[in-house]
Amino acid sequence: MADGENHSGLDEPVRELDADSLLLIVVGAHLQAEAADRPLGYRLRAQIVRWLDEHLESEPLAPMVCTDLWYLNAPELMARPTISIGRPGLNAASAYFAGRLPTAFVIDETLQVQLDLEFVNLQACVWGVDHQGTASAVDVFAERYLEPFLRSAHGLGAQAT
């Protein structure tokens, strides 16, 4: 390859990230979380991108999947709208949120969705006791809470029009 060629295989250059423009989807850095929860994070990210494309014309928050290590060690990231995916034993961000966020939806011994139902605090913790439970929790969050969460994150008010 000639000097200066893009070796990443991507056509677009990576733009500089501004923490103030991010909506974070946090997964654990644990190998099990990387294998099981990161794909769920990307699936949720795709749903968010579709919603943004349908509802916002300019300056939407950029959804980004990152690990709990980055998130918990960067106060500027912890101040951003956040959806943490994965059980507290595999995701330190979920462990952090588990005792701080109210439970919005629970199926005993299966899954939990924790968030502020008034959507003032824009942090959510979505997890199950195993991979299937976590996948189901992500589905519940997406179906019941994602739209008001995104509306609030973009200053549109939690109620759909």
Domains of the chain, first to last: 20-153 (3.30.379)
Across all residues in the chain, what is the average pLDDT?
90
The helix (run of H) or strand (run of E) holding residue 51 is: helix 31-55
Answer left, alpha or beta for residue 84, where phi above 0 means left and psi between -120 and 50 means alpha: beta
Residue 99 CA: distances (Å) to CA of 6, 91, 102, 115, 125: 45, 14, 8, 11, 10
Q: How confident is the model at residue 14 (pLDDT cuts 50, 70, 90)?
A: low
- The pLDDT of residue 158 is above 80: no
pLDDT digits (tens, 9 = 90+) for 20-59: 899 999 999 999 999 999 999 999 999 999 999 999 888 8
Per-residue tokens: 11: 């056509």
Instruction: List the one residue out of 154, 127, 155, 157 whose CA is nearest residue 44.
Output: 127
